[in-house]
Each structure stands twice: as C-alpha cells, then as structure tokens.
Amino acid sequence: MFATPGIAAGIALLLLSPGFATAAWAAGTDTGGYGDSYVFYNGWDVDIAFEVDAGNKPDKAYSGDWDHTGVDSLATRNGIEMALYGDKAGNPAVSNFRYWWPQDEVFSGDWDGDGVTTFGVRRAGTSDVEDGQPQDTFYLRNSFGDGEPDYKFDFGTARDLILVGDFTGTGKDGIALRNGNHFAIMDDVSQQVAREVTFGPDSAVNVVAVGDWDGDGTDTPLVRSGNTYYAYNSWNYSDGPAEEVTIGGEKNAVLVGDWDGDGRDTLALRNFNFKLSSSGQTTKSQTTALVDNPKFRLRADAAASLERVEELWGQALTVNDGWRPFETQRSIFLSRYTPGRKGGGDFCDVRNWNGTRYIRTSELGPAAVPGTSNHGSGTAVDIGGFESFGDPVRLRFLALARDFGWSDAEGCQVGERWHLTYNPANDKGNTSWSPTDPIDKSASHCPDKVIGPSTYVPPSKCRFN
C-alpha cells in the first residue's frame, strides 16, 4: 500500500481511497472544534474530573507535557502566538512564544524522549511520489520557539491524517499517517523509517487518536463513532476495545492526555455544551456594528475595544473589513484557490478544505479556509490609510492598539499591513500611550527587515525559515 522509503526523498506514502477525509482530532495535532472551555476525564465513565477555560474560542488547541511534570495539559495557538498552560487552573507553564506561519499545520510530540512535549509542522511539498501526489515536508523541533528544525523529512501527502504517539514504548513519540484503515508508522523521527499497519476491515473504522490507555507505555488506537469512543490496547482490531465511553456530543472535539499523572491516557472535550452555528464561528447576533463604521461588525468585546482605541487616537479610522459570515469566507476562498492534486503553484500556498486540496492562484493574497478565519470569529479588522509596514503613523497607532488587545502578528505573516486581530487576554483596558511618544518599532510583530519604506515581501513559502 505504501511506497518504500527513499534515501533522498525521505518517506513516501501513497494515497488510497480518493474519498478519504476526516477531522484532525488526533493526539498531538490541532484538536479542531471551537470554544474556550474544556472538560477533562480521568477515567472511562461520564464523571468530569475538572474544567479549564483557556485561550480564545477560535484558537487551535493541543495537549502535551510542556514542563516535564508527568501531567499533560493544554496549549492554544492564535496565528503564530502559542500559549502553554501548566495546570488545572489554566495557568501558564512557560512564557508565550511565536511559532512559524499561521497557515502551518502544527502538532505536538516528545521527539527526543526527554519528557517534554514540543512542536512540529507539516507543510505542502513539491516532490512527487509514485502516483503523482506531492509529498509533504515535516519540520520538528526539540525546543520551543522559532529556529532551525532538529528533524526534517518528506512523509506522505496532505490528505493523510497525522497521529502522534509513542508506538514502541521507548519514551519517544513517532508519527503515523492514516489513510483509510491503512497506517504508515514512523516509530522514531530520527531514523525516518516507516512500517505499514492495517487496523480494521475498512476505512469506516474512524481512528481519530492514539493513547496509552493501559499504562504500558505504548500508544494504541482510539476509534470514534458519533460521541462514543472505543480505546484499543493493541493494533489488532479483532481484539476488540478495552474501554468504551459515550460523552459529549457529535460536534465536540476531543483531546487525549494523562491529566492526573497516573501513566494512563484519558479524554477531554472542547466546549462540552457548545453548539456550533451554521458557519462554525460567530453569528451575526453575536456581533456589534461599529459606531463610526456601521457597515462593518465585530464581536462585541472586539468592537468595544476598537472604539476605545479610535477615541484615544483622536480621528476616525478607515475600516475596510470586519466580521465575515461563512458564505463570504467561502466566496473569498474559492475566488483565490483552485483544486489541484500536485505542486504548490506560483505562491506555494496549499490548503485543504472538505477533503479537497486547494492551491492559491490569485495575487490578492492568502485567505483562510472557510470556517477558520479570524474575520469569521469577529476578532479581525482591516484598517486602511497606512502606506507601508514601516509607516510611522502605523507604528504609532499599533503602540496604542496593542494595549487594548490588538496585534499585527497575523498581518505580518500574510503580507497585509492593514490586518489586525484582537485577543481579549491582552486587553489592558487602559494605556499610558501619548501621541507625542517616540516611534516604537516593537509595537509591530513584523521582523525588522520589513519595517521600512518598501512594500512587504513575505519569505518564500517553499523553504523552511
């Protein structure tokens, strides 16, 4: 089923059924879902052990042992901003840090077996495997933050689901790629050799995660059917599940981790009581029209913050966009991306939506996959009137706006000087800012090389930075 690992090309994984597509709810990957509340279970019953509020509703969420305590906890990601939470109260484990590009597919694992979970990314590749599909490239680091990868290799394609776990009981996490009921398992990322495993009679067996359910140090499959979960203690499907539980709803995203340090993994659900809107994000009723720009809307807290910034700024802001309903997100995305089975196009910008691989063909810039945009959550605004990233007026404005929770980090990554996002956790509600303050370049998240008179040119998305 799977291509033989190549010396130069890395690990090759062939596509199987063209209809295969499933949510990335695997342990180690972004959990999917929406919401800022989580419920945790320490056993295989319906009793909730504890609850945590963390991050923002649109954030990506992950699980891992960030501080070598033997207990797993949450991490959230907003664009390139990562936040790690170290205990049941949602307190930070380490300082927040930035992590590569907003469009990266990020996952977590203990790659070197030192007891600390770190991160990796998967990016669309351009090299071909035997059936003409482009291989993806993995970049893994053994420490937090930006920097060169400790491991880099080609493995599989964008349509393969990532599962992260310790498949051999060595203390090191490996990577498994699922395609239907077939798996290519790389036990040790430093060796980059994959073996093949088949689990279940067909692709209807929905393996969404792996975990150490019995405390033997080895991670094995978790099968989901609606809101019922079946934990297996081996990769032999005929053995049957060792544990079974029905919790939450069919739309709740699931995380896997050892939440109490007993050596056994159990489950957590994101937004236990949350019901998704038709857009999967903020509905119009949850937004507020801007007072001076009533054509545009934002989530209520973001709108209040922006209006306070405008008041202190002393002049009307030129708002060009705010909240986008799902259909608008869909229209923008399809106007810029075209289905494509191979390559990265002129912009090396590849996205996956509803089981289809899309390549950007428009010069108008990147667009989020419908249902994942910060514009859809009502926490992003586009403000005009700035001539460049390094425009002194822009830098002075950012110095004010950051005190009220606004950041240009995402805009810097996608080359949009007008794009700002709101994080209520960073909203101080007040400021010591003065219009006569010296220009503060640190108000912008853009690297120094783009704070200047020239137009921002994003780095090549075809190579690791």
pLDDT of residue 58: 79
Beta bridge partners of 85: 92
Q: What angle is formed at CA 360 by the lines to CA 358 and CA 366, rounded to 5 degrees?
A: 115
Nearest to 110 by CA among 42, 195, 190: 190
Dist. CA 449–CA 456, nearest whole Å: 9
Determine the average pLDDT of the residues in 396-410. Answer: 94
Kindly tell me if the per-residue pLDDT of 28 is higher than 70.
no
- pLDDT: which is higher, 114 or 354: 114
pLDDT of residue 90: 61
Is pLDDT at 450 greater than 80 in this prediction? no
Q: Are 138 and 193 in contact (CB under 8 A)?
A: no
> What's at 79, amino acid-wise?
G
The rounded distance, in Å, linking the Cα atoms of 160 and 156 is 7
Q: What is the pLDDT of residue 364?
A: 85
- Residues forming CATH 3.30.1380 domain(s) in the chain: 284-324+373-450
Cβ 334 vs Cβ 310: under 8 Å: no
Confidence class of residue 86 from pLDDT cuts 50, 70 and 90?
confident
Domain with CATH 2.115.10 in the chain: 37-270
Average of per-residue pLDDT across 118-143: 77
Residue range 284-324+373-450, CATH number: 3.30.1380
Residue type, 282: T
- Mean pLDDT for 364-378 is 87
Query: What is the three-state SS of 186-232?
Result: ECCCCCCCEEEEECCCCCCCCEEEEECCCCCCCCEEEEEECCEEEEC
pLDDT for the residue 114: 96
Lowest mean pLDDT among 80-89, 314-323, 410-419: 80-89
Confidence check: pLDDT of 158 > 90: no
Question: What does the pLDDT read at residue 5?
Answer: 35
Q: State the burial class of residue 280 (Cβ atoms within 10 Å of its Cβ: 0-12, 13-18, 19+).
A: middle
Measured between alpha carbons, how far is 394 from 443 in angstroms, rounded to an integer? Answer: 9
Say if residue 70's pLDDT is above 80: yes
DSSP state of 46: S
pLDDT of residue 255: 94
In which band, very low, low, confident or very high, does the pLDDT at 92 lie, cut at 50, 70 and 90?
A: low
Strands, sheet with 419-427, edge to edge from the N-terminal-most edge strand: 318-321, 380-384, 419-427, 404-407
Range 386-409 average pLDDT: 93
What percent of the chain shows pLDDT beyond 70?
A: 82
Q: What is the C-alpha to C-alpha distance for residues 48 and 248, in angstroms, rounded to an integer?
A: 11
Looking at the DSSP assignment, which residues form a beta bridge with residue 137?
123, 154
Which has more confidence, 286 or 176? 176
DSSP letters spanning 291-321:
SS-TT-EEEHHHHHHHHHHHHHHTS--EEEE
CA distances from 235 to 184, 207, 220, 307, 398 (A): 13, 11, 6, 56, 53
- Can you give the pLDDT at residue 88? 65
CA angle 114, 135, 24 (to 5 degrees): 60
DSSP state string for 165-193: E-SSSSS--EEEEEETTEEEEES-TTT--
Give rounded-to-5 percent helix, strand, coil for the chain.
Answer: 10, 30, 60
Distance (Å, whole) CA 163 – CA 95:
27
Q: Please answer whether residues 413 and 102 qualify as being in contact, where contact means their C-beta atoms are separated by less than 8 angstroms.
A: yes
Looking at every residue in the chain, the average pLDDT score rounds to: 82
Per-residue pLDDT, averaged over 55-74, amounts to 89
Mean pLDDT (whole number) for 50-75: 88
- The SS3 assignment for 392 reads helix
**Helical spans, DSSP H, in 40-174:** none
Distance CA 3, CA 148 (A): 28
How confident is the model over 41-64, as a mean pLDDT? 86
**Other Cβ atoms within 10 Å of 181 Cβ, number:** 20
| pLDDT (average), residues 305-314 | 95
Is-contact 230 249, C-beta < 8 A?
no
Burial class (CB in 10 A: 0-12, 13-18, 19+), 233: middle
Average pLDDT over every residue of 380-406 = 94
pLDDT of residue 410: 87
Supply the pLDDT for residue 127: 56
Q: What's the pLDDT score for residue 309?
A: 96
Res. 14 pLDDT band, cuts 50 70 90: very low
Taking residues 343-369, what's their average pLDDT? 85
Q: Which pLDDT score is estimated for 412?
A: 85
Q: How many CB atoms lie within 10 A of CB 120?
A: 28
pTM for this predicted structure:
0.58
- Please name the CATH architecture into which domain 37-270 falls: 5 Propeller (2.115)
Residue 212 has pLDDT above 90, yes or no: yes
Q: Which residues pair with 53 in a beta bridge?
A: 37
Is 448 a residue whose pLDDT tops 90? no
pLDDT value of residue 20: 28
pLDDT at 373: 84
